[in-house]
Amino acid sequence: MNNLFIAENERNRIEEADDGAIVDLERIRDEQMQSVSAPAEPHIALRRLAALRAEIGKWKSVAAAAHETHASQADRAVDPLAKWRTISRRTFAIVALFSLFVNVLMLTMPIYLFQISDRVLTSRSLDTLLMLSALAVGLLATLSVLDILRRQVLGRLAASMEVILGGPILAGIVMSAPTGEGGSLQALRSLHQVRSFLSSPTMLLLFDAPLAPFYFGVIFLIHPSLGAIVLAAGFVLFAIALLNQTATAGPLGKAGSFSSKADAHAESLARNAQVINAMGMLNESILHWGREQAPALASQINAHDRNFWISGASKFARLVTQIVVLGWGAHLALAGELTGGMMIAASIIGGRALQPLEGMIEGWRSVVQSRAAYARVRTALEGLSKEKSKLRLPRPAGKLSVERLLYIPQGTREPILNGLNFELKPGESLAIVGPSGSGKSTLARILVGCLFPTAGKVRLDGTELRNWDRRQFGEFTGYLPQEVELFPGTIKENICRLRTDLPDKEIYDAAAVAGVHDMVCQLAAGYETVLDRNGAPLSGGQKQRIALARAFFGNPSLIVLDEPNSNLDSVGEKALADSMMRAKERGVTIVLITQRPALLNTVDKVLVLRSGRMEGFGAPRDVLHRLVSQAAPVPSA
């Protein structure tokens, strides 16, 4: 309801903007036309008319821009899952209508055989045969076209699901990861699974199965006893379907759970491929993954075996039903209660009535798995829909304040950060130092909004980070993580944060501030050098410097650098120091995490962390002098 209310407000704002523009256009037109209608020289009138056209064009562009802006904001307020549900309901109604006509036209063949047997063979009329054959071919052609159309409609629906839900799900994976390291791709894989199911033959059976009573009714019209036989067989197949669902639900659920764990472990192995190859851990890694994959395979085989046996039983029941219908129909034909053509038609229609039920039993595994996958998709999108729109604030000056910060990871009781209090004025720089495991990188992720504190506040220009619009905050923030990751694409795309709406000058400015322009120009393709997902062909230090330029892109107000010189040589360290000085001259607030003392001379303040607590904060000289004094031995009396 909130989303609908927001969307309605946006539409009202669009209408108000358009109405205002129209009123202004009418006012300008009246004023200009009055001046034009007054006696004047022809060339003066022409100039006034040209000015009128230019003014009208300007206001039309303003109205169009306002309409586009407000419309885009209204669209963002619409829940993507609700949008897809609306589209899917309309599409399912169309497919259901097509399925109704398809199933009616499926009677073409049994009726044709009935007419051949009981009319053509008895009358020996060639004209009747030709007419019936032509009519049957036409109806079958119509059936084929309708069947193709409903498959195409479902295929388009599957593609629209990917278009509408793919982006929001990927955004949810990135935004809702509790550790700030990026979430699992399970929801995205679940979306692909549902998309494949929508265009599968099993999906069509879901539309054909509810129409089975139509065939039962036709058989009852042929003869009530034959209808009773087929109806009884339908109840038997329905019972078999329930048995199949009960027998396979447990093993399929276990298989899905074990398979998800094994896939997550495989992703971890892929991320650590260099470590595995360097230290000869390949065999052990595969064995470890195999121990998690084995239960998934065992549960899946168990479910498949049960499904195969039950599917075989359903096929046996259907074939026996057709034999019984033929046998009893022959008995009725001998008794003179129906003709041979009616007997054959009843057998074919009975098989058609039971075929969707049998197909559902065979494809029940995909139905269960797709339903579970859709539940995961819905859960992922419901979590994303809870994100409320935030007020877009002015560009921050860069004042950063941390108040009584406490951070305890989920599932643990020991705090990583405890009782942190400090403040930075706009343009100040801070170096965070401390031993490994003291919480420096965690603090960096909190300062850029990747993590939220368990208690306490982190504010930028007085506004708590969780109250900033996520995209707007990102535009004003630069972040260089400890583990540098570049995106597949060109160096230009990596520096500009994959944006295409900004001029190249901003890319050059970021590269110049970071001191990487000369380095990039030495590459064969320069800024158009294509990087793979591992950042090749760049070295570790070059990747770090490109990531540094990405952090400086867009002239941010706050920059957080986590171990920015870990892979740099002396030339790179000098370029880093120069970059920090240039950023400070622009009034950028800088937070630097480092283990090397060389950069301490370039910062205004130093924060010392140990076991998640502050041991010192202030000017570098004062803090280091205090630490040295505390570490000095006390002379004996």
Summarised one tens digit per residue, pLDDT across range 463-478 is 998 888 888 888 899 9
Same domain, 49 and 163: no
Same domain, 288 and 424: no
Contact between residue 429 and residue 400 where contact means Cβ atoms under 8 Å apart? no
Same domain, 73 and 204: no
Does any domain span residue 121? Answer: yes
CATH (domain of 286): 1.20.1560.10
User: Per-residue pLDDT tens for 540-559?
Assistant: 888 888 998 999 898 899 99
- Final residue of a domain: which of 329, 352, 385? 385
State the burial class of residue 557 (Cβ atoms within 10 Å of its Cβ: 0-12, 13-18, 19+).
buried
* Cα distance between residue 447 and residue 441, in whole Å: 10
Same domain, 404 and 374: no
Same domain, 408 and 339: no
* Cα distance between residue 407 and residue 490, in whole Å: 37
Main-chain phi, psi angles of 419, to 5 degrees:
70, 35
Going from the C-alpha of 89 to that of each of 84, 149, 210, the distances in angstroms are 8, 17, 17
| Residue 336 pLDDT | 85
- Final residue of a domain: which of 61, 77, 93? 77
Same domain, 349 and 422: no
Q: Looking at the whole model, is its pTM more than 0.75?
A: no
Q: Which residues contact 190 (CB under 8 A, 6 or more apart)?
A: 372, 373, 374, 376, 377, 380
Does any domain span residue 117? Answer: yes
Tokens (6 digits) for 584: 């400070």
| Residue 62 pLDDT | 43
Tokens (6 digits) for 629: 């004094």
Residue 192, Cβ neighbours under 10 Å: how many?
Answer: 16
| Residue 176 pLDDT | 62
Does any domain span residue 309? Answer: yes
- Final residue of a domain: which of 385, 416, 448? 385
* Cα distance between residue 462 and residue 612, in whole Å: 24
Same domain, 515 and 481: yes
* Cα distance between residue 333 and residue 21, in whole Å: 81
* Cα distance between residue 427 and residue 430, in whole Å: 10
| Residue 387 pLDDT | 61
Same domain, 66 and 87: no
Contact between residue 343 and residue 333 where contact means Cβ atoms under 8 Å apart? yes
Does any domain span residue 595? Answer: yes
Does any domain span residue 454? Answer: yes
- Contacts of 225-229 with C-beta under 8 Å, sequence gap 24+, read 225/328, 225/332, 226/325, 226/328, 226/329, 226/332, 226/346, 226/350, 229/321, 229/324, 229/325, 229/328, 229/350
Same domain, 53 and 113: no
Residues of the chain short of pLDDT 70, as ranges, are: 1-78, 175-184, 271, 274-275, 383-388, 627-637
| Residue 138 pLDDT | 95
Same domain, 154 and 201: yes
Going from the C-alpha of 365 to that of each of 253, 379, 446, 484, the distances in angstroms are 10, 21, 44, 42
Residue 560: domain span: 400-631
Same domain, 66 and 93: no
Same domain, 362 and 485: no
Contact between residue 619 and residue 604 where contact means Cβ atoms under 8 Å apart? yes
Provide the number of structural domains found in the chain.
3
CATH (domain of 424): 3.40.50.300
Q: How many CA atoms lie within 13 A of 62 on its CB side?
A: 16
Does any domain span residue 395? Answer: no
Q: Please give the DSSP secondary-structure letter assigned to residue 633.
A: P
Does any domain span residue 636? Answer: no
Q: DSSP letters of 287-354?
A: HHHHHHHHHHHHHHHHHHHHHHHHHHHHHHHHHHHHHHHHHHHHHHHHTTSS-HHHHHHHHHHHHHHH
Main-chain phi, psi angles of 607, to 5 degrees:
-120, 125
Does any domain span residue 31? Answer: yes
